[in-house]
Amino acid sequence: MIIKKTTFKDLFIVKQRNNKDKRGNLRETFNNKILKKNFVFNYCTTSKKNVLRGFHFQSKNKQSKFVNVLKGKILDVVIDLRRSSKTFGKSFKIVLSKENALGLFIPKGFAHAYLSLEKENIIYYQLDNYYNPKFESGIIYNDPIVKIKWPKGKFIVSKKDKKLLTFKKFQLKFKTL
């Protein structure tokens, strides 16, 4: 595993070794000696092509996330919501896939979303805090201020995600994150 810094403080790309042979592959997705994070909660999602999930965050009980794609390919996107950060309000995009064996470590204070790019996508998360629906919130994926350039297409978005906050409303509602 190799840790690559991004221009966002504490946001890391993790290049994993994908050992392939005729039987399949073996990939080390996490090594605490290298990433040095204490995860307490794991979950796995599956998404069909063109499913867009997010942007999600927790206002309290904030979570750092380590995202890996076990099958398929996604466009993973985060928004820095840390008001004291030089990159506040800016976004970062990366393609994560089974083939490129990249993971993304997302620190507390970011909103997270992804768009599924293949027929079947399996995404594995490790988190350093538990999920609490009481503190769940988010930013709408097509916010006019954040201006994410998504690929062309018709997305499948949940009713809940279609009702998320605009970035402007986020700033009014949450003084710090």
The residues annotated with a catalytic role in the active site are 56, 125
What are 32-40's contacts with CB under 8 Å, separation 24+?
34/1, 34/3, 35/1, 35/3, 35/66, 35/105, 37/64, 37/66, 37/105, 37/126, 37/128, 38/128, 39/66, 39/126, 39/127, 39/128, 40/127, 40/128, 40/129, 40/130
